[in-house]
Amino acid sequence: MANQNDNFIDEVFEDLRRERLFRLFRRWGWVAGLLILGIVAGVIWREYSQSRAEAEARAWGDAIVAAQAGDDPAAIMAVDPQGAESRRVLAALLAASEWSENDGDDAAAAALRDVAGDTAAGTVLHDLAELKLVMLQGETMDPAQRDEILSRLSRAGAPFELLALEQKAVALIGAGRTEDAVNLIRQIQQKDGMTEALRLRLSEMMIALGVEPEPSENMPAG
């Protein structure tokens, strides 16, 4: 008899719970429905936005490639000039490279200065523009400005630290400070992150200075 009473009580409580849940659902079910619709709409919008962004990026890339095939690097900068700031900066860097390869050093330098002075460039592209400007102008750049830029770009942890140090060595060689250049090259060769191309260039610089590179200096980077 006790078990039957217990079962009856459990069934009553279960019915009460179901009735309570049913009432809650009738009262607040529309809220859950709106939440579900909101989540679904958010997912759909995200997928649509990503798809649209990818399509725009592909269209921009195709337009850049078409502009590069022409004879006027300025056409590269004319691709979507009112578009995303990051694309505008990249277009200027690409145009500068085209100009520098076709003896348009003045136009290339102007484009690189524009990128370096553009707040939309961000740290990496800003530093890249300044490094390319130093490499483009070399000894024709004001020595104080060149030294200031390279000192900043070669600070520890900077995006182009090793390449800036390489340019420092080039500047030392140009100034006739061979011993200082050799010492700097050896310091660079001890740093982490060396690429094989940079390692080879540094070894060639040592040979050009009349210094025989050590065996480790010719080994591939690990």
Higher local confidence (pLDDT), 71 or 154: 154
Predicted pLDDT of residue 199: 92
For the segment 207-217, the average pLDDT, to the nearest whole number, is 75
For the segment 99-116, the average pLDDT, to the nearest whole number, is 86
Predicted pLDDT of residue 117: 85
Residue 27, Cα to own-chain centre: how many angstroms? 52
Closest CA to 146 of 156, 128, 133, 158: 133
For the segment 59-85, the average pLDDT, to the nearest whole number, is 76
Predicted pLDDT of residue 58: 82
Given pLDDT bands bounded at 50, 70 and 90, which one contains residue 215?
low
d(CA 183, CA 195): 19
Given pLDDT bands bounded at 50, 70 and 90, which one contains residue 214?
low
Q: What percentage of the chain reaches a pLDDT higher than 70?
A: 78
Closest CA to 205 of 194, 215, 217: 217
Tens-digit pLDDT profile for residues 7-45:
555 555 565 666 666 666 666 666 666 777 778 878 887
Q: What residue spans of 69-218 are helical by DSSP H? A: 74-77, 85-101, 105-116, 122-137, 143-153, 161-174, 178-189, 196-208
Q: Which residues contact 131 (CB under 8 A, 6 or more apart)?
A: 149, 153, 160, 163, 164, 167
Q: What percentage of the chain reaches a pLDDT higher than 90?
A: 32
Q: Which residues contact 47 (CB under 8 A, 6 or more apart)?
A: none
Contact 95, 77 (CB under 8 A): yes
Tens-digit pLDDT profile for residues 139-195:
889 999 999 999 999 999 899 999 999 999 999 999 999 999 999 999 999 998 889
Global pTM exceeds 0.85: no
